[in-house]
């Protein structure tokens, strides 16, 4: 499944209710799921990790849909050529890993 296919799937499942909830409240749910992912990372439970990563991705996709952003196109535009700061793969920035993001 591509990122675009996943975003469309999440739209079919949740977009109507997420739009009714509104952007601010939906973002709060996203942050809550991110917190659950943090707890799963600490626990190291693989099944819990998979579930929480999927939840965070779903909430991110619905936020993108509510705001009219094609998540796959946005990711490709920013990262297709490598690190947005140094343009290299892997990143050669002096910052911490992921510093270009």
- pTM: predicted TM-score of the whole model, two decimal places: 0.88
Q: What is the pLDDT of residues 51-97, one digit of tens each?
A: 999 999 999 999 999 999 999 999 999 999 999 999 999 999 987 56
Assigned domain for 93 exists: no
Assigned domain for 19 exists: yes
Assigned domain for 101 exists: no
Assigned domain for 94 exists: no
Assigned domain for 90 exists: no
pLDDT band, very low/low/confident/very high, at 99 (cuts 50, 70, 90): low
Assigned domain for 99 exists: no
User: Can you give the CATH number for the domain in which 36 is found?
Assistant: 1.10.287.1080
Structural domain tally of the chain?
1
For residues 50 and 97, which has the higher predicted lDDT (pLDDT)? 50
Give residue 93's pLDDT.
94
CA 15/CA 9 separation, integer angstroms: 9
**SS3 letters across the chain:** CCHHHHHHHHHHHHHHHHHHHCHHHHHHHHHHHHHHHHHHHHHCCHHHHHHHHHHHHHHHHHHHHHCCCCHHHHHHHHHCCCCCCCCCCCCCCCCCCCCCC
Q: What percent of the chain has pLDDT over 70?
A: 94
Q: What is the span of the domain harbouring residue 61? A: 3-69
Assigned domain for 85 exists: no
Give residue 94's pLDDT.
87
The region that residue 13 occupies, defined by phi over 0 for left and psi between -120 and 50 for alpha, beta otherwise, is alpha
Assigned domain for 55 exists: yes
């Amino acid at each position: 499944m591509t990122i675009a296919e996943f975003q469309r799937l999440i739209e079919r499942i949740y977009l109507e209710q997420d739009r009714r909830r509104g952007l601010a409240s939906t973002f709060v749910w996203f942050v809550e799921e991110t917190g659950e992912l943090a707890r799963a990372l600490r626990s190291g439970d693989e099944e819990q990790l998979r579930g929480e990563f999927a939840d965070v991705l779903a909430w991110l996709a619905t936020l993108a849909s509510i705001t009219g952003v094609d998540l796959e196109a946005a990711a490709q535009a920013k990262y297709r050529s490598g690190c947005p700061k140094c343009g290299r793969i892997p990143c050669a920035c002096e910052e911490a890993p992921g510093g270009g993001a």
